[in-house]
Amino acid sequence: MMKGTRHTPKASAGDRGFTLVEVLLVIVIMSMMFVSISKLMQAARRTRDTIHNFQEMQLAGPAVLELMIRDLRGVFTTSRPRNTWLQITDRTVNGQDADRIDFVTTTDSLVVNLSDGSENVRADVNEVGYMMRPNRDNDEFLEVYRREDFGVDEEPFNGGSYIFLSDQVKGFNIEVFTEDGPDAEPYDGWGEISGDEELIGLPAWIRLSLTVELKPRIDRESMDFSGRDRRTMTYTRVVRFPEALRVAEGEIPRLALPQAPGATASDPEAGGDDEVVPGSGITATGGRGQNNTKGGGRGSGDGRAAGSVRSNVETVGGR
């Protein structure tokens, strides 16, 4: 008797599982895809960080310098001694140039002050300065601050509030020149702090150099540079002071009330004599006065002398 043979049904293609080789091949293909995607994402992130930080660096330097120049253009010297006009201090912090500059300007105050009635008050004339401090997170960098003191007091180079501007500074250098020409020798300091009695008042011009660099945190994470020169940039600005402001001590413009037309100090009812109003720079001659202060116009007996003084004050203030 013949025994029947046993037949096992063949598995269809849909019921058959993946082999080990197929699984490994899929894993390899997916890994290559993930690596490619990761490289694309890293390249996009590097490009984003590069553009963002270069824009930040290029905006930080010019923005700080433009703020300095705006304040310097409004330097205020009327009725003030020459030794209180401008002070530049040569400083070094952590081996880097960190000069300081202080003066009085007609720029409206940026810091809001509260009066007794709890109203916001801004002064038209303020003490302003710019200084560098060490960066608390990285000693290779400096922080630049703007000092502002409400109004003007007896110490125009001290006190006030400090406003943070940037922490990407690598150096700030100020060069002072007393004359024009390529052979002019620069001075590092200015004012009584320099120790030279001739270096007071206002110089002919100054040169501001601000060096900024990219932040090292993002630099280490994703940014790639071929050299250090691509990460550092120095911005330079030149500020020239009007010659009308660089006057001697006896010619300093001063605020004073003009004398009434046709009157003298000894006899207000009399007229026709020449009379000089002390401290005002206005000479009254027979009822007509002329403003002798630099930058002023002419005044007459019909009240134009007062307008002449006012115009001169605005010119000195740089408004």
Reading the block at residue 195, the tokens are: 């120790």
* Of residues 225 and 160, more confidently modeled: 160
Q: Tell me the whole-structure pTM to 2 decimals.
A: 0.63
- Residue 66: count other Cβ atoms within 10 Å of its Cβ: 12
The CA distance from 84 to 240, in Å, is: 18
The C-alpha atoms of residue 81 and residue 86 are separated, in whole angstroms, by: 10
Instruction: Of 56, 48, 36, give the one whose Cα is nearest residue 223.
Output: 48
Residue 176 tokens, joined: 């002072």
Q: Taking 80 as the threshold, does the pLDDT of residue 88 lie above it?
A: yes
Residue 238 predicted with pLDDT over 90? yes
Q: Regarding predicted confidence, which is higher, 194 or 209? A: 209
How many whole angstroms from its chain centre is CA 30?
54
State the first-to-last Cα distance of the chain, in angstroms, to the nearest integer.
Answer: 126
pLDDT value of residue 157: 94
Beta strands in the chain (DSSP E): 86-89, 92-93, 96-97, 100-105, 113-114, 120-121, 126-134, 142-150, 161-177, 205-213, 232-240, 275-276, 282-285, 288-291
Please give the structure tokens belonging to residue 238.
Answer: 């030149």
d(CA 258, CA 305): 7
Q: Are 305 and 289 in contact (CB under 8 A)?
A: yes
The pLDDT assigned to 44 comes to: 83
Alpha-carbon radius of gyration of the chain: 35
SS3 112: coil
> Shortest CA distance to 99 belongs to which of 61, 125, 129?
129
Q: What does the pLDDT look like over 261-304, one tens digit per residue?
A: 765 555 544 444 444 333 333 333 333 333 333 334 333 334 33
CA separation for the pair 64, 72 (Å, rounded): 13
Selection from 102, 60, 69 nearest residue 234 by Cα: 60
Spatial separation of the C-alpha atoms in residues 99 and 86, rounded to whole Å: 13
Which has more confidence, 36 or 307?
A: 36
User: Alpha-carbon dihedral of residues 190, 195, 198, 203, nearest 10 degrees?
Assistant: 0
The answer to whether 74 and 317 have CB atoms below 8 angstroms apart is: yes
- Dist CA 187 CA 210 (whole Å): 17
d(CA 240, CA 179): 11
Whether 159 contacts 126, CB under 8 Å: no
Q: How confident is the model at residue 104 (pLDDT cuts 50, 70, 90)?
A: very high
Q: What is the mean predicted confidence (pLDDT) over 68-85?
A: 92
